[in-house]
Structure 1
Amino acid sequence: MPSALPHGDPPPPSGRLNRATLEQAAGAPFGVYVHVPFCSTRCGYCDFNTYTAEELGPGVSRGSYADTMLRELRLAEVVLDGAPPPASTIFFGGGTPTLLPAEHLGLIIQEIGDRLGLADDVEITTEANPETVTPAYLAALREAGFTRISLGMQSAVPKVLSVLDRTHRPGRPEAAVAEARAAGFEHVNLDLIYGSPHETDADWQASLDAAVGAEPDHVSAYALVVEQGTALARQVARGVVPAPDDDVLADRYLQADATLRAAGFEWYEVSNWATSDAARCRHNELYWSDANWWGLGPGAHSHVGGVRWWNVKHPVRYGALLDTGSSPAAGRETLDEGARLTERVMLGVRLREGIGVDTLPASSSRVLPQLVSWGLLDPPALDTGRVVLTQRGRLMADAVVRELLVDA
């Protein structure tokens, strides 16, 4: 089951933002996230806001989904009132965006440009299940304006794919990388998951080797998390499969870092590696740097000028609200400076550049020497006024953040 939405204040039906909020948004980068909630099957570990055809029932169709999103874009144009700069990034996520026709995705891009504007160097990304793309489809995506694709590989080992309920064939993600390159994509990412039940060191190494051998210029690797309410959580609770082991997850991370560094990748965020600065995902960097974005689609979250809101989750309810001319937002919160500082530290410390000491709460200064002595922070970087994680620090990033904010 998809995870629950946070609690918040009731949003105005119009979605209106006050002038002070819009003025704050005027100077920061702006992006658009497009949520496509359709999946062919539900993976046992997934708690994203996604639905199979059987789960959706009547009232929602892939064929009309783009038209529904265009109505939210018209709302965004009115609410934003030209305050943010043109979109520098667009990211289609899900779900499986590539279950929609490429022409429909292109129509959404065109409408974003017409309504909100596009930067000259806009980065446009879609996630994709490798089984849903063909050379012709990839060529159509490029024609529509996509510059980047993120392919869900997860593993190269059949037994691990089976545990994760992934339906693609081993070898298909690697082939899709080659097809994306042939279609002219500037950047290609492979997405991996480590720590699955019954996965061995050799299994994980086989997945890493396969990913590197496909020659993408970006790799994301995430530890498996057992999310409450998922099929995997129920299996763990019944003892059918073991829960991920923290020590094993740490070993897997070090294994990934070593393999990727040897292949010419450098980490730029704790779970992300790229072959160059140009290959980094600019849209994700926008999230990590406290910038602004509008999230289109059911369950999508937005942030503009310190105000965050989130849409209703079910696609039928989402469409019904837009049909009445109302905002599909379910809740809203205005972040005070303390909350924004917490998020800046929590996200910024995960980046290769780290964060400036001068951006931390004053109380953090007393814990910095201790964090260095524990081997969690890079001493030369700290000498220049930056808080940068060591490799050991990356393994304990959450603990570092807690220490930095303990008295904030």
Structure 2
Amino acid sequence: MAPTGAGVSADFKSKLRVTTGRRGGECALACRGISHEGDSMRPSGSLSRRAVVAAAVLTFAGSASLAQPDPAANFPSKPIHIIVPFVPGGGSDTTARLIAKKLNEKHGWQVVVENRAGGNTVIGTQYVAQSPPDGHMLLLANSTFAINPVLQSNLPYDTNKDLAPVTTAVITPFAMVVHPSVPANSLQEMLAIMKAGKPGEWNFGTVGSSGIGRITGEMFAQMAGLQLQHVPYKGAAQVTQEMLAGVVKFTIDVVNTYPPHVHAGKLKALAVTGKNRIPSLPDVPTFAEQGMPEFDVSMWFGFLARGGTPRPVIDKLSAAINEVLAMPDVKQQLTAIEMQIMGSSPDEFDRFIRAETANFAKVVKAADIKPVQ
């Protein structure tokens, strides 16, 4: 896009004079009644219609290329809405509201957070996918966004076309948690117990039949050479209650709900995903430390806009959100709820989503998880 106004550089003005001069010369020839025919030029005696049209087209094209507005210059022109496809109070909701607040403080943008839960995040995602492509409606998606295309054949939107990645925001690790009655105090001890049991003897509980928890548990089973039985629950609170009661004795789940119960001795954490140990469970080693570096999965959260949103607007949003994520107080508040900063460019996020979907598809196929019709 050509620069305009005061922002035009001296080099660009020089090139502009040359171009204009050439076009001016062409127009002058036409206006003096000179026409081109073969390899010679002859006076036409009168102004031809073709010459007039050609001159007008050249003039319009030159002015139009300079007059194109920057779609990001006046963005945002109205409040920005962040759609959270989950109920209020969770990690995604907290993250969205913190970033919304900081965008207002730093840039003066009015940002509203809306919770539109349901349909395994499909309801909120569809709402953004059908919004105007102007950047004023954002989705704070999580890993489920990359799973749904694999397990839901009738999505009311095209994941790759109707949503445009803006930036990743945060990730949260998973933890292997067991009931105190389980006689294992490390990952290797737990693996030995599981492998000594009968196939399917051990079950693991997660939220939903096709969410990131289920996929993560199946991924672990496949890498460890185990056959586990999955038990789905409607919500995270139910999983925690069943774990505390000993009904379900094992899970691999997002870590943030479990540290208080681990510190109280009501549950045991044997391993966490990620490259580093987490602040709330500093004595719990990672899977990599215990000989299973290939098992490294996290729940991620990131922002997407409506597909077709102008790229300058996408870039402006991405830069602004990443500026907020870099603030020390934001990092401190997110770390307190086991969220780790993971900003990115729009293109990096796009490649990341596609890679995640491909990996999840392999796990789903190997575990024979049936798509939702």
Q: TM-score, normalised by structure 2?
A: 0.28
Greater RCO (CA < 8 Å, at least 6 residues apart):
2
Q: TM-score, normalised by structure 1?
A: 0.26
